[in-house]
Structure 1
Amino acid sequence: MTLESAMSFLAAVFLFGITPGPGVFAILARALVGGVGSCALLALGMVVSDIIYLVAACLGLAVIATLWGDAFTVIRIVGAVYLIYLGWRMWRAPLDLEGENAKGGATGMALSFVQGFLISASNPKVILFYIAFLPTFMDLAALDAGDILLASALTLIGLMLGLMMIALFAAKARRFFRTQASVQTLNRSAGSIMIGAGVFLATKH
């Protein structure tokens, strides 16, 4: 991969990361409720899932990903139901003016990572991106281990940068919610975003 193609790939991945979809909606909802710090492992889970798809495409397994059929449909529906469940939990969350309800500790961190991984793994947009656009930036037939490692690193940087920027902007908006009524509105807005992401994912083919 040349320097020019690497920079172009990084820009494309960044733009892909901030494109509205279930992952972006999940980051927005989490940042509005828990702040930017609560989004780091959620975003990392999404990125790790994306990198797995990237490596699969580099190794010539993209065709298999398009032929998952019923298995992929089950994964997508489970992911959608989980997002809707999270949205319902946010909608009913107790009022917390100090943001103390955000889960912490090893269990909460692991759960955030798994949530992010499932959201990205069940999103058809991820598969289509790497299948359709990867050949634009590199010759898949001439790839070596170094190229795959570089592409993975660029994906990690581009996606984390995009997702955490979204989290930062959402977290700044959170500062305006200081009364019980505004926090309730915030929780329900975030829950509605998450439920909407689940519905979007369930109906996306």
Structure 2
Amino acid sequence: MDPAGLLLFSSALFIAAASPGPGIAAIVGRVLGRGPKEAVAFSVGVALGDVVWLTFAILGLAALAQAFHEVFLVIKYAGAAYLLYIAYKIWTAPALARDVAANARPEHPAKLLFGGLALTLGNPKTIVFYLALLPTILDLTRITLLGYAELVAATVSVLGVVFAVYIVLAARARQLFTTPKAIRILNRTTGALLAGAAAAVASR
């Protein structure tokens, strides 16, 4: 597709993705609470949700999305409930040393991926970007199969960069908390952050 249009889309997506929202809050919360390893699969799920909404927008399925409004409501509340569950687990986690906490039983990657996917499919910020703002940036009626592939590649690349930066920064911040008291504060802060992300998704 037109390089200028692809650059415009990538720039707009970068600004939207980098601005804090439920997705970023959830990713940062996971890193602070459990470390960066589990955040990768969760971030893949979040990015996959963006690709789903991008596909809906290009295929002109906004009306279909409205028709299945109840389905997306279920997905939205499922994602919010998942975040609340993780928030509770981290809030109530014992203030263990980081080397002990690192050996805690990890969540299955598929569960993390579907958690991230559910969060994005119900995230109002993402929905507004693809179904409302994207048509003002690109002429979606002229997107070819190659253009769609380029947009998907741009989406994954931009989100990969944004998520990687947040994961690295959160992982470094996590290393500053070493004493039981500091870890307890971190757990409570992380739990509150995730609960806030869940509320933001469920209330819109």
Mark yes or no: TM-score above 0.5. Answer: yes
Residues 121-163 of structure 1 show CA distances to partners (whole Å, capped at 9, x for unaligned) of 1112212111122223322121110011000110001112112
Alpha-carbon separation, structure 1, partners of 2:4 and 2:36: 32
Deviates more, 1:115-124 or 1:28-37: 28-37
Alpha-carbon separation, structure 1, partners of 2:119 and 2:159: 14
Extract unaligned runs of 5+ from structure 2.
none
Residues 146-204 of structure 1 show CA distances to partners (whole Å, capped at 9, x for unaligned) of 01100011000111211221111111111110001111111111011111111121111
1:91–1:191 CA contact under 8 A, matched in 2: yes
Alpha-carbon separation, structure 2, partners of 1:116 and 1:103: 19
Task: Give the direction of change, closer, same or farther, for the CA distance of 1:16–1:101 in structure 2 (3 Å limit).
Answer: farther
Alpha-carbon separation, structure 1, partners of 2:33 and 2:78: 23
Superposed, 1:137-152 pairs within 5 Å as 137-152=137-152
Q: What percentage of aligned pairs have identical amino acids? A: 32
Q: CA RMSD in A?
A: 1.7
Q: Which residue of 1 aligns with 2:115?
A: 115
Letter in 2 for 1:8: L
Extract unaligned runs of 5+ from structure 1.
none
Partner SS state of residue 93, structure 1: coil
Point out 4+ residue stretches in structure 1 off by more than 6 angstroms: none
Alpha-carbon separation, structure 2, partners of 1:90 and 1:133: 35
Deviates more, 1:145-154 or 1:92-101: 92-101
Superposed, 1:1-205 pairs within 5 Å as 1-97=1-97, 98=99, 99-101=101-103, 103-104=105-106, 108-204=108-204
The structural deviation recorded for 1:117 is 0.9
Alpha-carbon separation, structure 2, partners of 1:5 and 1:96: 50
1:39–1:164 CA contact under 8 A, matched in 2: no
1:95–1:184 CA contact under 8 A, matched in 2: yes
Alpha-carbon separation, structure 2, partners of 1:194 and 1:129: 22
Letter in 1 for 2:76: R
Letter in 1 for 2:83: L
Deviates more, 1:28-37 or 1:173-182: 28-37
The structural deviation recorded for 1:57 is 1.0
TM-score by length of 1: 0.91
1:33–1:102 CA contact under 8 A, matched in 2: no
Partner SS state of residue 108, structure 2: helix
The structural deviation recorded for 1:102 is 5.4
Task: Give the direction of change, closer, same or farther, for the CA distance of 1:50–1:89 in structure 2 (3 Å limit).
Answer: same
Residues 60-98 of structure 1 show CA distances to partners (whole Å, capped at 9, x for unaligned) of 112222343333222222221221111011101122322
Alpha-carbon separation, structure 2, partners of 1:7 and 1:96: 46
Partner SS state of residue 88, structure 2: helix
Number of aligned pairs?
202
Deviates more, 1:7-16 or 1:71-80: 71-80
